[in-house]
């Protein structure tokens, strides 16, 4: 009965049900109105995500999702020749992969509301500290992700959204508007703190609302308990379950 | 592809995706292994919950849930003649309603793993303070829920679980094992604090594990990113998606 919202992305989506996570908060915002399904794959780039499309979004689905967030790029933007180079995807391919993901989803669910989210900014100092906490002196000095490079991917993501008429969230820009974003919003230079998660949650709720997919305007799936007449409970259910 | 875990209950289930909530934590524990679906209805007792069964658990479902928690009783135990009396359900009827809920679920999904959870204890002082915060001097002095009475409902819930061979969590007893449970685990005398949520999460994970429904032993739904050969990514997906 309830519409479904799919969150498709990398680790920032996979971890979105940890304490303070944006996915859990979204599920709470749409409580009794829509179901939130997490499809987050830590470490994945858009090239690998493409292998999942026919499985996650089968074209013969009886109940395709009503809305989705597509949130990739943090791994695609890993830099060639550095520690995470196996995840690297060239920026033009990133954009075309995103396009394929979108087109597949639209084939699966023609009226789906899709919101593209850019990768968050990178705090290179935070990444280095994180690498040293893992590898000590062996950690390379050169960051495996750079904020400026990730910014190029973010730009491509927004460019695609504009080209094909999708809503989008420029998280890369948005987070950097706040002084001290590096530590306030990012826990290891890349993943989100509870404060960073809160921004993603607010932004997704805002964009969904602007697209007329607002929790406030959606009906509860069954009567509110105060609308149930305790002497005659079936009445409330007959009206709402007919 | 992933099995589904349904959380069926009242407000303590409905609110389980708030920050620190046990439902969100469970979704995180089963990340990439099972989907957690919230079916929590604030204010509902078991009598009203019965009206939902055929809608939430249709007998012709193609993909019925693999596991479920049933978590009612906090409202059934509201006391006659007091503020929340409209939610009251006699304790024998509570037990029979729970039985009907279980039997319907088993008809829908014959191999489903069902865990019954008793209502949490009631902190009467906390309830009174909460009532005064809402109604000031007009708040009645007599608590609308009493710990001892809720304990009788908890006992019936456990009795039913034993009669029909279900796993159960005696949350009423469990929480009271800790000194200062009244304020540590309950925010308004009835609903759970993050610490109370953490206990429910731990208990559900423990009981699921004991019933061989353990996240540790379930496969990831797709290859871990470190198993993907970047020169030949299709290989990992051919093996796992066949």
Q: Tens digits of per-residue pLDDT, A34-87?
A: 999 999 999 999 999 999 999 999 999 888 999 999 999 999 999 998 888 999
Residue A242 predicted with pLDDT over 60: no
Per CB-CB distance under 8 Å, the chain B contacts of A20 are 19
- Contact status of A193 with chain B (Cβ, < 8 Å): no
Predicted confidence band of residue A240 (pLDDT cuts 50, 70, 90)? low
CB–CB of A192/A139 below 8 Å? Answer: no
Q: Which residues of A are catalytic?
A: 11
Check whether A104 has a pLDDT greater than 90: yes
Average pLDDT over residues B49-63: 94
Sign of the dihedral defined by the CA atoms of residues B74, B79, B84, B89, in that order: positive
Which residues of chain B neighbour A31 with C-beta distances below 8 Å?
Answer: 14-15, 17, 38, 40
Facing A32 at nearest CB: one of B14, B31, B194: B14
Q: Is the pLDDT of residue B141 over 90?
A: no
User: How many other CB atoms are there within 10 angstroms of residue B211's CB atom?
Assistant: 14
Question: Looking at domain B4-241, which of 3.30.450.30, 3.30.470.10, 3.30.1360.120, 3.40.50.1110 is its CATH number?
Answer: 3.40.50.1110
Interchain contact, A233 vs B40, CB within 8 Å: no
User: Contact A21/B1, CB-based, under 8 Å?
Assistant: no
User: Taking CB atoms and an 8 Å cutoff, what residues of chain B touch A24?
Assistant: 17-19, 21, 24, 27-28
Closest by Cα among A97, A142, A93, A148 to A119? A148
Q: Which of A191-205, B38-52, B107-121, B124-138 has the lowest mean pLDDT?
A: B124-138
- Whether the per-residue pLDDT at B45 is higher than 70: the answer is yes
Q: How far apart are CA B237 and CA B242, in angstroms?
A: 8
Q: Residue B42: closest CA among chain A residues belongs to which residue?
A: A225
Asked if pLDDT for residue A225 goes beyond 80, the answer is yes
- Interface contact A3, partner B, CB < 8 A: no
Mean of pLDDT values over A159-178: 98
**Mean of per-residue pLDDT scores for chain B:** 95
CB contact under 8 A, B55 and A226: no
Contact assignment for A43 to B19 by CB distance below 8 Å: no
Report angle CA B77, B83, B88 to the nearest 5 degrees.
30
- Residue B106 sits at the vertex; the CA angle it makes with A35 and B173, to the nearest 5 degrees, is 80
HEC sequence for A43-84: CCCHHHHHHHHHHHCCCCCCCCCCEEEEECCCCCCCCCCCCC
The predicted structure's pLDDT at residue B214: 96
Do residue B14 and residue A31 have CB atoms under 8 angstroms apart? yes
Judged by CB atoms closer than 8 Å, whether chains meet at B44 and A19 is answered as no
The complex's ipTM? 0.92
Between CA A33 and CA A19 the distance in angstroms is: 22
Across A131-151, average pLDDT: 87
Smallest CA–CA distance from B227 into chain A, residue = A43
* pLDDT-above-70 percentage for chain A: 99
Beta carbons of B91 and B43 less than 8 angstroms apart: no
Of the candidates A14, A75, A234, which has its C-beta nearest B32's C-beta?
A14
Alpha carbon distance A146, A151 (integer Å):
9
pLDDT at position B241 over 70: no
Contact A188, A126 (CB under 8 A): yes
Task: Identify the residue among B4, B36, B48, B231 best suited for mutation to test binding to A, counting A beta carbons within 10 A and taking the highest.
Answer: B48
A41 CB within 8 Å of a chain B CB = yes
Percent of chain B's residues with pLDDT above 70: 99
The pLDDT of residue A35 is 97
């Amino acid at each position: 009965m309830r519409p479904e919202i799919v969150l498709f992305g990398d680790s920032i989506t996979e971890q979105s049900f940890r304490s303070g996570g944006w996915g859990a908060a979204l599920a709470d915002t749409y409580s009794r109105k829509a179901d939130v399904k997490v499809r987050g794959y830590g470490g994945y780039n858009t090239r690998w995500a493409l292998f999942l499309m026919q499985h996650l979004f089968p074209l013969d689905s009886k109940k395709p999702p009503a809305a989705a967030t597509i949130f990739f790029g943090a791994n695609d933007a890993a830099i060639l020749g550095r520690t995470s180079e196996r995840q690297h995807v060239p920026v033009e391919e990133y954009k075309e992969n995103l396009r394929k993901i979108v087109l597949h989803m639209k084939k699966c669910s023609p009226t789906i509301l899709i919101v593209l989210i850019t990768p968050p900014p990178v705090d290179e100092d935070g990444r280095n500290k994180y690498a040293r906490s893992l590898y000590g002196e062996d950690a390379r000095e050169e960051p495996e992700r750079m904020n400026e490079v990730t910014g190029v991917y973010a730009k491509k993501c927004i460019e695609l959204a504009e080209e094909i008429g999708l809503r989008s969230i420029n998280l890369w820009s948005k987070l950097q508007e706040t002084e001290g974003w590096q530590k306030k919003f990012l826990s290891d230079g890349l993943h989100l703190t509870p404060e960073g998660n809160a921004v993603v949650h607010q932004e997704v709720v805002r964009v969904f609302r602007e697209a007329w997919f607002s929790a406030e305007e959606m009906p509860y799936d069954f009567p509110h308990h105060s609308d149930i007449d305790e002497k005659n409970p079936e009445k409330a259910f007959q009206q709402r379950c007919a």
